[in-house]
Amino acid sequence: MRTGLFGGTFDPVHFGHLLLAETCREVGQLDEIWFVPAARSPHKPNVVMASAKQRVEMLRFAIAGHPQFRISKVELERPAPSYTVDTLRQLQKDEPNRQFVLLMGADSLHDLPTWRDPEAILDMVEIMAVSRGREAASHAPVITHLGEQARQRIQTVVMPAIDISASDLRERARTGRSLRFLTPRPVELFIQQHGLYRDAASGEST
C-alpha cells in the first residue's frame, strides 16, 4: 500500500492540514494518509504546545469519517525530539509491505538539506512537496545540495490557496476571537472547552 506520512505538531490541526493531505492523497494515488504528530519538533523547540494527548484528540475529531486518514503515534512513543529519518526507519521495520511517501510543505522542502541525514530520507521514501495556491515549488536548491537523487525522488504538488496557520489559530484562541471555518467544528469546541492556548504566546508551528 502507498501510504502518505504527514508529520507536524498539529497544534492545532486545521483545514489547511486536511486539504494538503487530501490533495496529496488524490494526486499521488495514495491508499492512506497517516498523520504523525511530533512529541517536539527539532526545528521548533521553543513553541508552547497543547499536550500530546490533546493534539491527538483534536486530530481524531478532524479526520473522523475519512477512512483513508489515520493517526500514527510512532513519534509520541519515543523520546523527543522527533527526527524524520528515525521515524522512517522504524516504520519501514514495522510495516515492510508499505511504500511510504513523505508529505511536506514547500517551505519545509527548502530546509530538507539541514535535516538529519537527508540522503537517507531520500533513499527510503519519495517526497511530495506542496505549494499553496502558487506554481509548484522549485527543488533546484535541494538538488544542488543533495544531488540528482533529489530530482528523481521529489514530486512537487500545488494545492488550492488557503491562508490558515496554527500560530494564527492559537493567537485567535488566546485573544478570544472566532475559530469557526478555520478548523473542524469539533476541534473548535474542544479548544474552547479546554481553554487551550489562552495563556500561551503565539508560536510558529503550522
pLDDT (tens digit per residue) in 100-153: 999 998 888 888 889 999 999 999 999 999 988 766 666 666 777 777 777 788
User: What's the pTM?
Assistant: 0.89
Residue 179 lies in a domain: no
Distance from C-alpha of 110 to C-alpha of 12, rounded to nearest angstrom: 24
pLDDT, tens only, 45-88: 556 579 999 999 999 999 999 999 999 999 999 887 779 999 99
pLDDT of residue 84: 94
Domain of residue 130, residue span: 2-164
Does 177 fall in a domain?
A: no
Number of domains in the chain: 1
Q: Specify the amino acid at residue 147.
A: G
Residue 201 has a pLDDT of 47
The per-residue pLDDT for 135 is 63
Nearest to 105 by CA among 27, 7, 2, 196: 7
Is the residue at 173 inside a domain?
no
In a domain, residue 156? The reply is yes
> Domain with 25 in it: what CATH number?
3.40.50.620
DSSP assignment of 124-188: H-EEEEEEESSSPPP-HHHHHHH-HHHHHHEEEEEE------HHHHHHHHHHT---BTTB-HHHH
Assigned domain for 135 exists? yes
- Using alpha carbons, select from 28, 29, 38 the residue that is nearest to residue 6: 38
> Residue 180: inside a domain, yes or no?
no
Any idea what the Cα angle at residue 133 is, between residues 130 and 135, rounded to 5°? 70
pLDDT, average across residues 148-173: 90
**Could you tell me if residue 202 is inside a domain?**
no
Q: Examine residue 144 and state whether it is found in any structural domain, yes or no.
A: yes
